[in-house]
Chains A and B, each alone.
Chain A
Amino acid sequence: MQEETPPIGPEPGSGQLHRLADHLFRHEWGKMVAVLTRTFGTENLELAEDVVQDTFLAAFQVWVQQGIPANPQAWLYRVARNKALNRIRHNRFSSQHDFSNPARPLPSHGPALHTFPEEPWEPHRVSDDMLRMMFACCHPGLPEEQQVTLILKTLCGFSTAEIARAFFCPEDTVSKRLYRGKAFFREHRIRPEIPGPGELQQRLEAVLHSVYLLFNEGYNSGQPDRLIRTDLMEEALLLGRLLTAHPETAQPATFALLALLCYQYSRSQSRLGADGNIILLDQQDRSQWNHEWIAAGNEYMNRAAVGNTVSAYHLQAAIAFEHCSAPDFAQTNWTGIVRYYRWLCRLSPSPVFELHMAVAVLHAEGTAAALRILEQMDAPKKMDSYYLYHSLLGEINQRDGRHEAARQHFEKALALTGSEAEKKMLRAKMERLCF
């Protein structure tokens, strides 16, 4: 029996004392759907979701009248299991069957009762099934938005409406993504499984990337609701921890990603003001930075420092660490950060990384050096449509006293961003320009 490594860092969202843990239903949703999907197959994902939804409805009806059971989780599991068995008994599931899969019994009545596990909710099995589900959701055949949407729905227990609110997009869009994702599962008979050694590295990269995207939806999004953003970051952290707990997915890049997420999370509450406006790094109240999470990040960093591959996450975590360990803005190790960014841009070239590097160069070496970086960039035309490119040029021009040029770039940036918080910040910068 593999030893389960205790999770590093405080439990996200564990602050409140309640009769029920915060988001208990939501977290149990993910576990139960994962286990049931493994039994029924991804082509029957909706069936699995139905069973779990029914289970929560039953909980609502019974617990209101009879009180919350001493072990709510066990109650949920028992009821879900019975409902699932009932469906199997009465043959109430999809007629699609994968004959090519030796693990599935031939249908006389579809999944036979004996294929339903005796102990479906045993913790290792649950974690295993959730990981399998993650790989299914991050299948290379699915576009990124569908991957993240599927994860939020099936693993994180968000409703379509909640996903729409989180991503600031119409519910219809979310519904379509889910519909297409599930259709893909059916058409390609995707099995939830951990890929074999040949495919694992590549598939894991996609999973890590999804977790990273999910976290960034909370950290960087234009969504003004702080609670929703914290929610998304916490879900990403939970999924990340799941990955670090399983031997096959507990790789250096995984630990590096967790380190990065912990560092970002530790600073997340001080980034947004009470009215949803962005507080820039040089003005953030560093006493608000959560040191427990920074410590957790450090532990993950240590565990990431094995082997001889450095991933983009290692470098981003290193940069985040430099910020977290600087007592104030002035003492930030900008030179070190620039070095990491240069490495990062070589390893994983991207316009966003290059722009962030230019910001670091601005602080480390001044406006002339930053301008040189911008001028040396590939595809300046592409840069032209990046809000950050113009925001940075505005900043550089302002510092050099070229106020008219600064104003023009800020205007351009304003037009390019959809985020209310960023717009506010840009307008504030423009107001500070004097003529």
Chain B
Amino acid sequence: MKDFLLLFRGGLQFQTASPDEIQQHMLVWKDWMDQLSKEGRVTGGERLTGEGATIRGEQRQVTDGPFAEGKEVLGGYFSIKAHNLQDAIQVAMGCPIYRHQGSTEVREVVAM
């Protein structure tokens, strides 16, 4: 088994989402998370707040906030176990983020 990261971007906009939408979305994410845990797939995962900073270039210029903007902002990640990229993609297909126009980037971790 190899290690992969699933990087989540976009999805439900929490600032304007209704309580109903948040509740429903939470249940769907929880169901997916539970299923992955049952399969022993998940090795980690975190959600990221919207705040932070980005430092760029030799000048080490610091700008407020994440690297990207809007829908491109990285919201969180899961680390999972999968046989290969195709397998990892299959896992990522189950993510609820797409119903709210979000995206999942699937990246393999370099094996040491």
A positions within 8 Å CB-CB of B: 19-20, 23-26, 28-29, 53, 56-57, 59-61, 63-65, 67-68, 157-162
Indicate if the CB atoms of A68 and B19 lie closer than 8 Å.
no
Q: In the complex, A60 Cα to B23 Cα: how many Å?
A: 7
Q: Which residue among B15, B19, B26 has the maximum number of chain A CB atoms within 10 Å of its CB?
A: B19
- B16 located at the interface, meaning its Cβ lies under 8 Å from any Cβ of chain A in the complex: yes
Of A63, A158, A161, which one neighbours B26 at CB under 8 angstroms? A63
Chain B interface extent, by class = 10 to 19
The residue from A26, A67, A160, A161 contacting B19, defined by CB atoms under 8 A apart: A26
Given contacts A25-B20, A60-B22, A157-B20, contact A53 B30 (CB under 8 A): no
B94 at interface by CB-CB < 8 Å:
no
Contacting pair A159 B21 (CB below 8 A): yes
B18:A60 contact, CB within 8 angstroms: no
Q: How far is the CB of B38 from chain A (nearest CB, A)?
A: 13
Question: B18: which A residues are within 8 A, CB to CB?
Answer: 26, 157-159, 161-162
Q: Is the interface of B mostly helix, strand, loop or mixed?
A: helix
Binary CB contact string for chain B from 9 to 31 against chain A (1 if under 8 A, 0 otherwise)? 00000111111111101110110
- Kindly state whether residue B47 has any CB partner on chain A within 8 Å: yes
Chain B residues within 8 Å of A26, by CB: 18-20, 23
Known contacts A57-B22, A65-B33, A65-B45; is A20 also within 8 Å of B16 by CB?
A: no
Chain A residue with Cβ nearest B26: A60
Give A28's nearest chain B residue, CB to CB.
B19
Chain B residues positioned under 8 Å from A29 (CB to CB): 19
Q: A23-B20, A64-B33 are in contact. List 13 more A-B contacts (CB 8 A).
A: A19-B27, A25-B22, A26-B18, A53-B15, A56-B14, A56-B22, A63-B26, A158-B18, A158-B20, A159-B21, A161-B18, A162-B18, A162-B20
- Take A57-B14, A61-B47 as given contacts and tell me if A68 and B20 are in contact as well, using a CB distance cutoff of 8 Å: no
Q: Which residue of B lies closest to A29 (CB)?
A: B19
List residues 44-58 of chain B with CB under 8 A from any CB of chain A: 45, 47
| Residues of chain B lying within 8 A (CB to CB) of residue A60 | 14, 22, 25-26, 29
Q: In the bound complex, do residue B17 and residue A159 qualify as a contact, i.e. CB atoms below 8 Å apart?
A: yes
Report, nearest first, the 9 A-B pairs whose CB atoms are least far apart.
A159-B18, A25-B19, A25-B23, A26-B19, A29-B19, A64-B29, A157-B19, A60-B26, A56-B22
Choose from A24, A56, A64 the contact partner of B30 (Cβ within 8 Å). Answer: A64
